[in-house]
Structure 1
Amino acid sequence: MIINNVKLILEREVVSGSLACDNGIITAYAETPSQLPGAIDGEGGWLMPGMVELHTDNLDKFFTPRPKVDWPAHSAMSSHDALIIASGITTVLDAIGVGDVRDGGHRMENLNKMINAIRHSEKHGLNRAEHRLHLRCELPHDSTLPLFEQLMCNPALSLVSLMDHSPGQRQYVSLDAWRTYFGGKYQMNDEQLDAYQADQLRLAARWSTPNREAISAWCRQYHIPLASHDDATHDHVLESKGVGSTVAEFPTTEEAARSSREMGLQVLMGAPNIVRGGSHSGNVAARDLASKGLLDILSSDYYPASLLDAAFRLATDDEIAMDLPAAVALVTRNPAHAIGLTDRGVIAEGKRADLVLVHQPREQVYIKNVWAKGRMVF
């Protein structure tokens, strides 16, 4: 296969030319057009590597599209995969909550069903994107460690994150902020919220520390990449570094992001934060971190299409010293390398032909075609 008449987004530059691949591998690229009649005409669009998503709970939405609605696994998985590939994501880590029972237990009920759907669809070649597993471990629960130990040897497991959403922790250092969020989310009155808060504090006091230590020990033993989550202070980052975290997911302050970078953790922020112009939770803006050189990876989190949009927004922001190759690396090379996938994420000879053709007729970028291992899937 040859793709002609494109602007190739390479690791350090953008060049106009053509690209060839065979058996799912990039075999060559050139700064000249191909003369072969069978070449695909890219019509002057950008050709970039397929995007790599490390943290999205998008799958959860398809399994439970509404409260108390349990959707069939095959339909849920195929619909999720279609949205992922249409967003230009060719490798995705589907984030599954372990021990998080705050949403009425549906995540626990769906846990095995979702993991089995990922495994079955990958085994039988039903997916267009490559789906891997990210376990989001909610530390303040007695069920978290037993569930993790059942799942930690799953061959698809590529990332584990340690989360603590209890009152007074990380994202919810402010108890008022915690009460406002959960009181609104679960429509609790003051009495119900008081009881819920007391229960969460009790669980956190009993389980957060031992679960953090046990799960991180397993990850170190089995060489599973580990991520922190919502670190807010220098001390939080010290703790995360101490247990072996290599990725800092969604630090809530510049202090935590800067400390993470100084301690060798790659800083991951939400692409929706870039698109919306700030955090919906009032935390540090991803754009501000990018402007200070403190951003390594973008995640679509809850909105898959935000990855491409965010990368191009950063590249065209006059106040951020980031060219298009550097911005694209935030959603391709950097997340891939963070979990040890060095066979993808860049346009280079010998790498996987996971590719996205992007056009921008006006200000908005859109995806025209996607190839996974050299096969057109969108």
Structure 2
Amino acid sequence: MAFAETRLPAGRELTALKNARIVLADEIVTGHISFSGGEISSIDMGVAPQSGEDLNGDYLLPGLIDIHTDHFEKHVYPRAHVRWDPLRAALAHDAQIIGSGITTVFDSICVGATVSRPERREVLAPMIDALELAQSAGMMRAEHLVHLRCEVTDAETARLTEANIGKEIVRMISVMEHLPGRRQSKNIGAYIERRMADTGESRAEAEKNTRELLSFSDEISENVRLTVIDLAHKHELPLLSHDDTELHHVDEAVAAGITVSEFPCTIEAARKAKELGMDVVGGAPNVLRGGSQSGNVAVSDLMAESLVDILASDYVPRSLLDCAFSIAADDAFSEDLPAAIRLVTKAPAGVSGLTDRGELVRGKRADLLQIGVLEGHPFVKQAWVAGRRVL
């Protein structure tokens, strides 16, 4: 399903940017670009207009598209047991998003509680409401959409999903199962250690409560999963499977009509996903760190086999920009800069149904970034969203 329309205010005047290294989908050209009415009107390598703004050889990129970041929640809870006003948190989050070069962001908000975060049930609606209010009032600089991350181990997830999935800002759904011994958390011993630290339980209490959690969750997770998947299909939203680890996880996802494998935890699962025609999402922080923070497969190993279609920031918004330039500069990767930029622009636009953006092409939305580079570090000098300069 394509979501090409936007309610964002568009820049109406004709703007020309000249003397730029323009990063197209397949090549870099030196030239100038013009846009008006929120859309790109021309890309030219000829004589630059006298009135154009000189970018002095900086890169000109399409705005980055992030289909998964849970960073909004970190602004709502800046410290343990400190809950910040959701609207103020949304504005702080937006500043970090646009400063990272992300012009379209899918704020990934958890639906359902976990052992360490039971408050997620009650903050879900206020977080979505804050994003809707801030965006409709013109307070945001990036465009914010919502990616509901549905925790199938909580019996309340089905109800919460149904209550929020029909909101216009909600554009993506994923199903996830955060349980010890499953998917991302294969090591039950490590889970128990984290639980003891999070809850203050003794080892005996943590082990007992973990056994009860697994028994209880098995009773509800399949029904919740099927309900969430049915709701996503009913609303024609992109649907992702989170943390595929075993081959049967991929088979189950494909059988349910899921088309994207998000953050597969093993190379075997990623291979199976590609074999069955799924798009694969990798975490940009994983690439920059040189491996997974939870001990799962390194995204660089997946990329060595051409198993990654999209990169998402996951928990560090700035990682998208850094990762794309890092990949292009590293001989260990086969991607040049246009190919690396596609992973964070055109490819995520495609899977999310945003057909109006994601590459520098005449008629596409004028979401643009002027990028300088200092000692290998890219940084945003200016940003435009729908032709309106926002940074």
> How high is the TM-score relative to the length of structure 1?
0.97
Decide which moves more: 134-143 or 181-190.
Answer: 181-190
Which whole-Å CA distance do the structure 2 matches of 1:342 and 1:211 have between them? 31
Greater mean deviation of Cα atoms: 172-181 or 291-300 = 172-181
Name the residue aligned to 2:9.
Answer: none
> Given the alignment, which residue of 288, 291, 295 partners 2:301?
288
Letter in 1 for 2:255: G
CA distance in 1, matches of 2:301, 2:49: 45
Counterpart pick for 2:36 among 22, 45, 49: 22
Tell me the equivalent position of 2:134: 121
The answer as to 2:17 corresponding to 1:3 is yes
Q: Does 1:136 align with 2:149?
A: yes
Q: Work out whether residues 125 and 164 of structure 2, in 8 Å CA contact, stay in contact via their aligned partners in 1.
A: no
Residue correspondence of structure 1 range 60-75 to structure 2 within 5 A: 60-75=73-88
- 1:193-232 mapped onto 2 (5 Å cutoff): 193-232=206-245
Which residue does 1:31 correspond to in 2?
45
Structure 2: runs of 5+ lacking an equivalent: 1-14
Shift of 1:104: 4.0
2:372 equivalent to 1:352: no
Between 176-185 and 208-217, the greater mean CA deviation after superposition: 176-185
Contact 2:23 2:60 in 1 (8 A): yes
Out of 224, 236, 243, the position equivalent to 2:249 is: 236
Query: Partner letter of residue 13 of structure 1?
Result: E
Aligned equivalents of 2:47, 2:281: Cα separation in 1:
37
Cα distance change on mapping 1:43 and 1:189 into 2, 3 Å: farther
Look up the SS of the partner of 1:172 in the other structure: coil
CA RMSD of aligned residues (A): 1.3
After TM superposition, the structure 1 = structure 2 runs for residues 171-210 of structure 1, keeping only pairs within 5 Å, are 171-210=184-223
Deviation of 1:87 (Å): 0.4
Report the CA distance shift for 1:336/1:153 in structure 2 as closer, same or farther (over 3 A): same
CA contact (8 A) 1:140 1:200 kept: no
The offset of 1:243, in angstroms, is 1.1
Maintained 8 Å contact 1:167/1:200:
no
Distance (Å, rounded) in 2 between the aligned partners of 1:24 and 1:194: 57
SS across alignment from 2:116: coil
| Structure 1 alignment gaps of length 5 or more | none
| 2:20–2:55 CA contact under 8 A, matched in 1 | yes
Deviation at 1:173, TM superposition (A): 2.5
- 1:85 Cα deviation from its structure 2 partner: 0.4
Distance in 2 (CA, whole Å) between partners of 1:104 and 1:317 is: 38
8 A Cα contact 1:13 1:325, kept in partner: yes
CA distance in 2, matches of 1:42, 1:245: 43
Distance (Å, rounded) in 1 between the aligned partners of 2:390 and 2:257: 37
Q: Distance in 1 between matches of 2:237 and 2:197?
A: 36
Cα distance in 2 for residues equivalent to 1:376 and 1:102 = 43
How much has 1:202 moved relative to structure 2? 2.2
Q: Which structure 2 residues correspond to residues 252-271 of structure 1 after superposition, within 5 A?
A: 252-271=265-284
Q: Percent identity?
A: 39
For 2:361 and 2:248, the matched residues in 1 are separated by: 40
Partner of 1:52: 65
Contact 1:101 1:108 in 2 (8 A): no
Separation in 1, partners of 2:135, 2:318: 22
Provide Cα deviations, 1:217-262, integer angstroms capped at 9, x if missing partner.
Answer: 1212221111001111211100111112111111001001111111
- List, as ranges, runs of 4+ consecutive aligned residues in structure 1 with deviation greater than 3 Å: 180-188
Letter in 2 for 1:288: D
Deviations 1:116-158 (CA, angstroms, capped at 9, x unpaired): 0011112112111111111111101111111111111111111
What residue is the counterpart of 1:275 in the other structure? 288
- Aligned-partner Cα distance in 1 for 2:200–2:274: 38
- Cα deviation for residue 180 of structure 1 reads 3.5
How much has 1:198 moved relative to structure 2? 1.9
CA distance in 2, matches of 1:352, 1:61: 30
Q: CA contact under 8 A between 2:113 and 2:119: conserved in structure 1?
A: no
**Correspondence for 2:93:** 80
Deviations 1:151-172 (A, max 9, x none): 1111111111101011221112
**Compared CA separation, residues 33 and 152, structure 1 to 2 (3 A):** same
SS of 2:88's equivalent in the other structure is helix
Q: SS of the residue aligned with 1:162? A: strand
Q: Which moved more, 1:331-340 or 1:93-102?
A: 93-102
Counterpart contact for 1:5–1:33, Cα < 8 Å:
no
Pair 1:173–1:103, CA change in 2 (3 A): closer
Cα gap change, 1:108 to 1:244, in 2 (>3 Å): same
Q: In the alignment, is the contact (CA less than 8 A) between 2:176 and 2:242 conserved in 1?
A: yes
Per-residue deviation, 1:33: 4.7
Quick one: which amino acid aligns to residue 25 of structure 1? E
